[in-house]
Amino acid sequence: VLLTGLPLGSHTFVVEASRGSMVASDAATWAIEVPCTPMTLEAEDLGSDWPVASGGVLSGGEGLTMSQAGRSFEFDYVGTGLTMYVEKGPNLHVMTSITDDDVYVQHDANDPGGFSFQQPIVLDVGLVRGPHHVVITCTTPNCAPDFFTTTCD
């Protein structure tokens, strides 16, 4: 028997014979756990139409950059949380994230003190373990997401 499309988490299956000499007490029960694996998702690999930036300070040598306000990209991930790593600096500004059409968070990457890279911004924590959909929007000009990490707490 092949089981596909199961959501993450615990599942119990009971197999009983429908004919023959097996009695109800002979039924077999299995418990399985569909795994959740923390992952690193490179922003430039998520199918966005945002321009790709290159540089040695970026994870994998590349990240995304957007100079236009109101532009979004979206992707799916599996887990209980998501952290976005961004470039911060004096010319970088506000991004928003909306997860599962419900959790709205605003993130300000402005840092008048100078530029820094791979700075974590927690987008989601404590979500139900499973698949989620997130929309990232550059709400003001100049946004620079580098990569994302998922959690499976």
pTM of this prediction?
0.78
pLDDT attached to residue 103: 86
Contact 63, 144 (CB under 8 A): yes
Predicted local distance difference test score (pLDDT) of residue 12: 67
* Calpha distance 50→66 (Å, rounded): 6
**What pLDDT, on the 0 to 100 scale, is given for residue 43?**
96
Q: What is the pLDDT of residue 33?
A: 65
Task: Please give the span between the terminal C-alpha atoms of the chain, in angstroms, as a whole number.
Answer: 30
pLDDT of residue 35: 74
Whole-angstrom Cα distance, residue 42 to residue 33? Answer: 27
User: Mean pLDDT in each 10-residue stretch from start to end of the chain (153 residues)?
Assistant: 60 60 59 80 96 96 96 95 97 95 92 96 93 95 96 92
